[in-house]
Each structure stands twice: as C-alpha cells, then as structure tokens.
Amino acid sequence: MTPLEPDKIDTLFINCHLATMTGNALSIIEKAALAVTGKTISWIGRQKDLPDHLRTSCQKLIDCRNGWILPGFVDCHTHLVWGGSRSNEFEMRLSGATYEEISKKGGGIFSTVQSTRNASKDELFTLASKRVAALLSQGITTLEIKSGYGLKLETELKMLKVIGQLDKTFPLHIEATFLGAHALPQEFADDSDGYIDLVTKTMLPAVKDQAIATAVDVFCERIAFNLSQTRKVLQTATDLGLKVKLHAEQLSDSNGAAMAAQFSALSCDHLEYLSLSGAKKMAEHNVTAVLLPGAFYFLKETKKPPVQILKDLKIPIAVSTDLNPGSSPVHSMTLILNMACMLFDLTCEQALLGATINGAKALGLELSKGSIEKGKDADLVVWDIDTPADLCYLAGLTPIEMIMIGGKIQHNTLHK
C-alpha cells in the first residue's frame, strides 16, 4: 500500500479497520495498521505487512480493539456564530407559519441579525464555543463557519474575528467564509443595490485586507439577492482573489448554480430547486454540490434536490449540518448522515463520502483533509462500530473512542 517507510513513527494504530474514503468509495482496508508521524499519516496498510521495526520503534501504540478508523468529518457549511434564539419561530412554524412568511415580517435572519449586532465579541465567542465543542464531540475535525448575521461592516468583521478566535482556541481546523450578502438589512430596505455596493466596495476590500476569510458566499434567493446582485459580489470576490461559493436554489430556481459555476465556485449549497441545466454547468466546472438535509427537514420542505441527476453527472456530493438558529439547529453529523440517506436517497457510502472527502472538496481542502492517505493530515476518528454504515444507521448515536487532529490526540477512551 505504501512502499516508502517513514523513518520514525509517533503514533501507531493497530487492530483496526480503515474506511479510507479514497477513489470515490469507502475503500476499506480490514485488519489494518496506520502510522502517524508529526501531523501527517505516514503509513497505512494491512497489519500483517507492517514492518517489525516500525512497530517496535513507535512512541505510542494504540490498540483499536477492532474499531474502525475514518477521516474526521468535514462540516463544510455552518452559520454557528449567532446571538439570541429563534425557538419562538420554531413554534410559530409548528403552528403553520412558513420560513419565508416569518422572514418577510422581519423575523428569521433579521431577528438573529439584531441579537448578533447587540452581542459583544466575547458573548458571541462563548455561545459559539459551545456549538464548536458539540461538533467536535461528533467527530467533526474540520469546520466552515460563515458570517452573515452582521450585515454591516463592523458586525461582519466582529463575527469573522470570533471565527478566527475559535480557530485558534479549538484543535479543529476552521475556515471562515464572508456572507455579507445573506439578507438585506432593514436600514437598506428600499435600496438593495445600495447594500450590494456596500458589500462590494467596502466590506469585501476590508475582508481581503484583513485576510479574515478565505471564501465569499451569497444567499441568491427571492427573499435575499437576485442574480445580477449575486454576480457583482462573486465578481468582486474573484477579482480580489477570494474563493466563492453560493447558497443556491434553496427556495426557488434562481439560476444561481449556473452562474456560480461560471465563477468556478467551490460549491453550490442547498439545491432543492436545481435545474438540469444548472446541474450540467456545475458538472462542467467541477463544482461540489453541498446538500443540507437538516434545513430540508426543519423547513418541512417537500421538494428534494435532484440527487439522481447529481449522481448521473458525477458531481461530488457533500453533506453538512448547516448549523444555524433558523433553518437547521442541528448539532449532529451522525443525524445528518441518517437524514441524507432517508430524505435524499444517498447510500451510506455516498453520505459518508459527503461528510468527509467531498466536504473537503467543498472547501478546497481535498489535498490535505477528508481521506486517509499517506501525507494527508492525521485527522482521524476511531469508532466502536461493526461497519461504516452504522454511522448512518444508528441515528444520532456517536460511539467515538478516539479523536486525533493533526497528529494530536484530543479525546481517548481506548486506554482508560
């Protein structure tokens, strides 16, 4: 499997099975061993092929007792920095109000914007820390977090700084995405083009100058921004050398996906109303489709994304929690895996690819994250399961025995 042997090994996992998530498949190696040197995976293969001297020279030997090792999950779409709560809206929706109705009356994203503007940076950090800790305990080792509840320069930057602080504080790798064009703030109620000018002329240059986000996202939707406004933001971001992605075709077909594809977007996300022509453009430009079954479920959406078309066109499919206070307050990747199978007809293998290597693709991190390969980051989770499908089947259970991020053990119940 790995012809060149490392000179030294820091951690050696034995008595394990691997789902390496390579070659667009689980790519299982049973009765395996896996070695880590420094931050990276340095040897993988069948345990019987492990050279004796590697076993004897390792610093730390971990007996996985027949557990399964998968790459840590990559949660590629979250909005987990927010102030306030929207549980009242959840109850309104249970009584029949729709997400769009609530948003049109100034609730929804706008209510979170108010609370997020009012919260201090420290308050936001404390609230978001609990959510990051919950995701880490679910085996998520790479995470994307968007801004988008500030909708003015100062609060957008405050959110992005909180995301940066989370990245420094927690062992997970965190990518920040600027989503200034998430909703039209009330002070621009009659001037959406004016707000887009603020985003493109003031906010984006500041985000670039401060190197505070790697990607730029837009909510392209009838309750948010139209196609030509979306194009302006994506064009400015591209001119500034930032990567782009898009909330596209969530509530209606706005032709956002086709346009984002022309900008070689990393991903188009949601996609319930994606058309065949939009999907073809995504395939042509190698754009990852990010499916968010939590939002579909919480909004009681009935239109499924065209999953069979995505599969037929061989578009990489990622799945993610979309953790946010309105449409997807879901803190569990294993629950999302189950929903991806039950609601969107993904196989267990496709769902797991979606939460690992395809999640990494949606962030442009596929060379270092999302699969178990020599030279990749040692972001690994040891699971007490009989088969990888158990992670989709045992809905909501999280039988984690060890989490390693960048070669460092973060959680370990194997050697109590």
Which of 233, 272, 234 is CA-nearest to residue 251?
Answer: 272
- Of all residues in the chain, what percent are helix, strand and coil, respectively (each to 5)? 40, 25, 40
Smallest gap from residue 128 Cβ to ligand NIG (A): 14
Smallest gap from residue 362 Cβ to Fe ion (A): 12
Smallest gap from residue 318 Cβ to Fe ion (A): 13
Of the pair 145, 237, the CB lying nearest Fe ion is at 145
Smallest gap from residue 187 Cβ to Fe ion (A): 23
Look-up of token digits 């929804």 = 108
Structure tokens at 392: 């989709």
Smallest gap from residue 324 Cβ to ligand NIG (A): 4
Which of 185, 169, 52 is CA-nearest to residue 113?
Answer: 185
Give which of ligand NIG, Fe ion, none residue 245 binds (C-beta under 5 to 8 Å, depending on kind): none
Structure tokens at 51: 């050279």
Give which of Fe ion, ligand NIG, none residue 108 binds (C-beta under 5 to 8 Å, depending on kind): ligand NIG
Give which of Fe ion, ligand NIG, none residue 112 binds (C-beta under 5 to 8 Å, depending on kind): ligand NIG
Q: SS3 of 130, please?
A: helix
The answer for residues whose C-beta is within 8 angstroms of residue 386's C-beta and 6 or more apart is none
- Count CB atoms within 10 A of the CB of residue 155: 22
Per-position x/- string for 308-327, each x denoting binding to Fe ion as judged by CB under 5 A, each - no binding: --------------x-----
In angstroms, the Cα distances linking 384 to 89, 262, 388 are 38, 43, 10
Of the pair 14, 335, the CB lying nearest Fe ion is at 335
End-to-end CA distance of the chain: 32
Round to whole Å and give the CA distance between 266 and 363.
Answer: 6
Give which of ligand NIG, Fe ion, none residue 250 binds (C-beta under 5 to 8 Å, depending on kind): ligand NIG
- The CB-nearest residue to ligand NIG is 326
Smallest gap from residue 322 Cβ to Fe ion (A): 5
Of the pair 10, 175, the CB lying nearest ligand NIG is at 175
Of the pair 75, 322, the CB lying nearest Fe ion is at 322
* Spatial contact of 225 and 192, defined as CB atoms under 8 Å apart: yes
Of the pair 251, 382, the CB lying nearest Fe ion is at 251
- Interface residues with ligand NIG (CB under 6 A) are 79, 108-109, 112, 219, 247, 250, 295, 322, 324-328
* Spatial contact of 240 and 211, defined as CB atoms under 8 Å apart: no
Give which of Fe ion, ligand NIG, none residue 219 binds (C-beta under 5 to 8 Å, depending on kind): ligand NIG
Edge-to-edge strand ranges of the sheet holding 40-46: 40-46, 28-37, 11-19, 60-71, 380-383, 400-405, 408-412
Of the pair 166, 290, the CB lying nearest ligand NIG is at 290
Of the pair 71, 150, the CB lying nearest ligand NIG is at 150
Smallest gap from residue 242 Cβ to ligand NIG (A): 19
Smallest gap from residue 323 Cβ to ligand NIG (A): 9
Give which of Fe ion, ligand NIG, none residue 263 binds (C-beta under 5 to 8 Å, depending on kind): none
Of the pair 10, 322, the CB lying nearest Fe ion is at 322
Determine how β-strand 140-146 pairs with β-strand 173-181.
parallel
Burial 335-349 (b: 16+ CB within 10 A, else e): bbbbbbbebbebebb
Residues lying near Fe ion in the complex (CB under 5 A) are found at: 322
